[in-house]
Amino acid sequence: MTTPRDDTTVERALVVAAHPDDADFGCAGTLARWSDAGIAVTLLVVTRGEQGGLADADAAGMPAMREAEQRAASAHLGIHDVRFLDGYRDGWLEPTFDLQRDIVRVIRDVRPQRVLCQSPERWYDRLQASHPDHLAAGEATVRACYPAAENPFAWPELLDEGLDPWKVGEIWLMAHPHPTHAVDVTDTFDRKVTALLEHSSQTGHRTDLEVLLRGWGGRVAAQHGLGANRLGEMFGVVPLNG
């Protein structure tokens, strides 16, 4: 792992997450910075998070609710290209070949220089960040980035769809057990909080949400030397095709 490319060299970024709200918890401040810098960010959500919510939640209405929450949250970050895959169940996600193909399809369509996804490596010090669906989405995305997205012989039917091979420049992994890079999100922290409040089915009962997020961000900033009274988000950065 190494330091990332300069943001000025990145025109398009793709973020892949297992559930609505995953990206907002893990990297909303960073995504707001990227959008502000002129990077076109696409968010791909693999499931609609239908197993989320409190015990008395409307289970039948949960998928539509969570999709709407995600779109509203992303708008606060300057992200207007929000996509959802069909056919993948919350709680049942595996890095299948079908899932890899569907992510490759989006990679070839978006043609991102940078992909951000969940870590496929379990983080035992904070196990909640390594939900099995997160690990599966991360593994499928890494496999999709390399070698499948750049291999013309992988799913040749994608060529018939006009989706030519694409080489991703780098992968950022959130909730990685050994992060190598931190982004100062002090100036975009308020938008992170606002985005997460849009996920009212998940955060509406949390009166301590901002305190929790500020604590996480402060610890990241301290660990990575961002300075006093700063807030950060941390990632493992994997170079590809540099």
Indicate whether 1 pLDDT > 60: no
Looking at residue 209, its pLDDT comes to 96
* Residues recorded for the chain: 242
- In this structure, what token pair is assigned to residue 11? 């025109």
**For 27, how many CA atoms within 13 A lie in the half-sphere containing its CB?**
30
Confidence band for 232, pLDDT divided at 50, 70 and 90: very high
SS3 42: strand
Q: In what order do the strands lie in the sheet with 40-45?
A: 81-84, 40-45, 12-17, 114-118, 170-174, 232-239, 181-184
Looking at residue 128, its pLDDT comes to 87
Looking at residue 55, its pLDDT comes to 64
Q: Where are the beta strands (DSSP E) in the chain?
A: 12-17, 40-45, 81-84, 114-118, 170-174, 181-184, 232-239
Looking at residue 80, its pLDDT comes to 97
Average pLDDT over residues 76-85: 98
Looking at residue 52, its pLDDT comes to 82
Confidence band for 242, pLDDT divided at 50, 70 and 90: confident
d(CA 99, CA 96): 5
pTM of the predicted model, to two decimals? 0.96
Looking at residue 230, its pLDDT comes to 98
Q: What share of the chain is helix, strand, coil (3-state, %, to 5)?
A: 45, 15, 40
Q: What is the pLDDT of residues 138-184, one digit of tens each?
A: 999 999 999 999 999 999 999 999 999 999 999 999 999 999 999 99
> For 5, which DSSP code?
P
- Mean pLDDT (the chain, rounded): 95
Do residues 191 and 35 lie in contact, with contact meaning Cβ atoms separated by under 8 Å?
A: no
Looking at residue 226, its pLDDT comes to 97
Do residues 135 and 91 lie in contact, with contact meaning Cβ atoms separated by under 8 Å?
A: no
Average pLDDT over residues 90-116: 98
Q: What percent of the chain has pLDDT over 90?
A: 90
d(CA 17, CA 2): 22
Q: What is the pLDDT of residues 36-76, one digit of tens each?
A: 999 999 999 999 988 887 666 777 899 999 999 999 999 99
- In this structure, what token pair is assigned to residue 195? 């985005």
Looking at residue 175, its pLDDT comes to 97
Looking at residue 167, its pLDDT comes to 98
> For 3, which DSSP code?
P
d(CA 224, CA 218): 10
Looking at residue 114, its pLDDT comes to 98
d(CA 234, CA 217): 9
Confidence band for 90, pLDDT divided at 50, 70 and 90: very high
Domains of the chain: residue spans and CATH: 7-239 (3.40.50.10320)
Do residues 46 and 70 lie in contact, with contact meaning Cβ atoms separated by under 8 Å?
A: no
Looking at residue 155, its pLDDT comes to 96
Average pLDDT over residues 186-199: 98
Inter-CA distances, 153 with 65, 167, 176, 190, Å: 39, 14, 31, 45
